A = this chain, B = another copy of it.
Amino acid sequence: MMATHISVSVQEADFDVGIEIAALSAGRDDVGAVASFVGLVRADKLENIKLVNVKVDAQDTVDTVHAMTLEHYPGMTEKSLEAIVAEAATRWSFFGARVIHRVGRLLPGERIVFVAVASAHRGDAFAACEFIMDYLKTRAPFWKKEDTPAGGRWVDARDSDDSAAARWEE
Which A residues have a C-beta under 8 Å from some C-beta of B? 16-19, 21-22, 25, 27-45, 108-109, 120, 122-123, 125-126, 129-130, 133, 137, 164
Contacts and interface: CB of A to CB of B under 8 A. Distances in A.
B39 A123 contact: no
A126 B28 CA distance: 26
5 contacts: A17-B17, A18-B19, A33-B39, A37-B122, A126-B133
Given A126-B126, A164-B123, A42 B30 contact: yes
A42 B37 contact: no
A69 to B, nearest CB: 17
Contacts of A43: 29-30
Contacts of A42: 29-32, 120
Given A126-B130, A130-B126, A31 B40 contact: yes
A37 B34 contact: yes
Most buried by B among A34, A36, A38, A109: A38
Contacts of A25: 38, 40, 109
A130 B17 CA distance: 19
A126 B37 contact: yes
A43 B22 CA distance: 17
A49 B27 CA distance: 21
A111 to B, nearest CB: 9
B33 A36 contact: no
